Structure 1
């Protein structure tokens, strides 16, 4: 009898622990988005078995890898309570500058450094406008977005720049390591690196503190302006890296390169659980959010749906994700 009671008690305790762990999982935003990703993929595969083939999945991964890479920088900005609308221009202008440097005959190292330098300048301009001048992030980055876009059209006069490049340079955007595209490997490495930075370092804690309560963060000794400047520099530089990778893939810098990509990047971060009010979000969530956007785009193509519908679907997913975040915050606030 005693053994039976102990067995029942142990079973009940195990059941309780399992329910508790399941509840924690469903409270984790990244896990919820991952479930949505699996469900969307399963629904698409019902209509087209080609979706789950290796060739298609690797194509999907490579297609959304640049959005995910930019999302890694964007989510850090959003966690501080800011926004960076200029990532598309930083990406495009970095691609163009890299192409122009190759056209001028500079070595690969100089060309890549020049492209990344564009991102550094974008980030410094954004960060200083926001922290030193005091402009709202939306206005500051909207201005640099327009400046960057205008510079691209002025320099190219609407004509793509397609220089001769060294043979090995294309590996960055076109190469594979086994079956995995090189841009996907870069995405994973950056995701793991910045996930550790955000979760395990003082810098990461200060980023979250700045977005959670800026006034309290200042009182506790956090150098808020320095943190904001840092995340904008990181965001633009990572976007510039995406531009260099994109140029390596196509070996041509288009005048409209990066145009509108900021919307996909913000969508990836928001869908991945980043709160646009600041203080919440994660690097892994942004990458999963980019994957969801990429899977939706792939599904639109495979199912022969009008491509303009993709924008409507993505917009709807953003609204749902942000609405759920607001509802979750209200519920948690009510419990507290």
Structure 2
């Protein structure tokens, strides 16, 4: 006789908590941060400050949604900060040169997608690890931005329609936040409701198995880096329109914030598991911590320490507490 194992029936609550443990944990952490900073400073929970947090978090959320796709394929994109800086600087240069703003925006989106596609080609079709490709991209793109601007900030003048993207409001709600929310909703729908989302998860789980069942695995792998480049273009445009200038020094440390938000939200670095809701919560948690520390008059440089610590703790939790083998309840052995 063969002995079979049978899962012991558990409560629906325990099953729900077990399935959504990491999203629930980041949601709880987010609430704790809100309560903590709200109690430490009287200005944190004011509507004006909360809207400012949303406005500042918008570029991070836009890129974090795309980074969720990249990390779901067991990849990484370290070049996002440099790409945002390049797009930011290029947008300011072409607008200052007199190019019509709508055309400038389209060109920046195309530029971001092309750069991301090139990196994706090296990763998917040339077999070079994503870490190496995007690390090289980090250096090349930041260097290109510095070369284009010669280290100076490029002002954008007389571009009210362009500034509206970064500074405008609709019914009192910041336009950048609305754009970020639309991107997050789109990412949520893509991952849960489309064939492409299922292919991204399959490639991250086992790219060879995905290829053998007929999926265009390499094309899917390359495409997530193109999506990342497109998201960086959107973020670069939002930053340029909010600040009214382009700079090669923009988005310093941006990649750390994006990766921290995604990993903290529950997307597995090993691939095959993603949570768009977790990414949104992770992004807002990072933004709240940064804003709260500033309002408490703590050095902004301390934020980098906090971000690095969050990445380390999130990766530890990802690997030890919330992997696929972690479950509530016990198993019952049947003879």
User: How high is the TM-score relative to the length of structure 1?
Assistant: 0.91
Distance in 1, matches of 2:97 and 2:304, equals: 38
CA drift of 1:251 comes to 1.2
Distance in 1, matches of 2:325 and 2:88, equals: 44
The alignment covers a number of residue pairs equal to 320
| The one of 317, 322, 329 aligned to 2:323 | 329
- Structure 1 unaligned runs (5+)? 1-15
Instruction: Please tell me whether residue 91 in structure 1 is matched to residue 49 in structure 2.
Output: no
Identify the residue that residue 273 of structure 1 maps to in structure 2.
266
CA drift of 1:23 comes to 4.3
User: How high is the TM-score relative to the length of structure 2?
Assistant: 0.91
Secondary structure (helix, strand or coil) at the match of 1:50 reads coil
- Structure 2 unaligned runs (5+)? 1-8
Distance in 2, matches of 1:276 and 1:248, equals: 33
CA drift of 1:25 comes to 3.9
Deviation per CA, 1:122-168: give whole Å up to 9, x if none. Answer: 11111111122211000001111111111111111111111324322
Distance in 1, matches of 2:225 and 2:97, equals: 30
Alpha carbons of structure 1 residues 330 and 232: separation in structure 2 relative to 1, 3 Å = closer
Instruction: Please tell me whether residue 216 in structure 1 is matched to residue 247 in structure 2.
Output: no
Identify the residue that residue 19 of structure 2 maps to in structure 1.
27
Identify the residue that residue 43 of structure 1 maps to in structure 2.
36
Identify the residue that residue 246 of structure 2 maps to in structure 1.
253
1:1-336 to 2 correspondences below 5 Å: 19-21=11-13, 23-25=15-17, 27-28=19-20, 29-327=22-320, 328-329=322-323, 331-332=325-326
CA drift of 1:293 comes to 0.4
Deviation per CA, 1:237-264: give whole Å up to 9, x if none. Answer: 1111110111111110012112221111
- Asked if the contact 1:89/1:148 (under 8 Å) is kept, the reply is yes
- Asked if the contact 1:93/1:118 (under 8 Å) is kept, the reply is no
- Asked if the contact 1:122/1:144 (under 8 Å) is kept, the reply is no
> Aligned Cα RMSD in Å?
1.9
CA drift of 1:33 comes to 1.0
Distance in 1, matches of 2:319 and 2:82, equals: 30
Alpha carbons of structure 1 residues 96 and 321: separation in structure 2 relative to 1, 3 Å = same
Distance in 1, matches of 2:130 and 2:277, equals: 24
Distance in 1, matches of 2:18 and 2:59, equals: 28
CA drift of 1:26 comes to 5.5
Instruction: Give 4+ residue runs of structure 1 displaced > 4 Å after superposition.
Output: 333-336
- Asked if the contact 1:87/1:235 (under 8 Å) is kept, the reply is yes
Q: Is the helix fraction higher in 1 or 2?
A: 1
CA drift of 1:333 comes to 8.1
Secondary structure (helix, strand or coil) at the match of 1:49 reads coil
- Asked if the contact 2:78/2:135 (under 8 Å) is kept, the reply is yes
CA drift of 1:27 comes to 3.3
- Asked if the contact 1:160/1:252 (under 8 Å) is kept, the reply is yes
Q: Which moved more, 1:40-49 or 1:262-271?
A: 40-49
Distance in 1, matches of 2:258 and 2:200, equals: 19
- Asked if the contact 1:90/1:118 (under 8 Å) is kept, the reply is no
Higher RCO (CA < 8 A, seq sep 6+):
2
- Asked if the contact 2:263/2:318 (under 8 Å) is kept, the reply is no
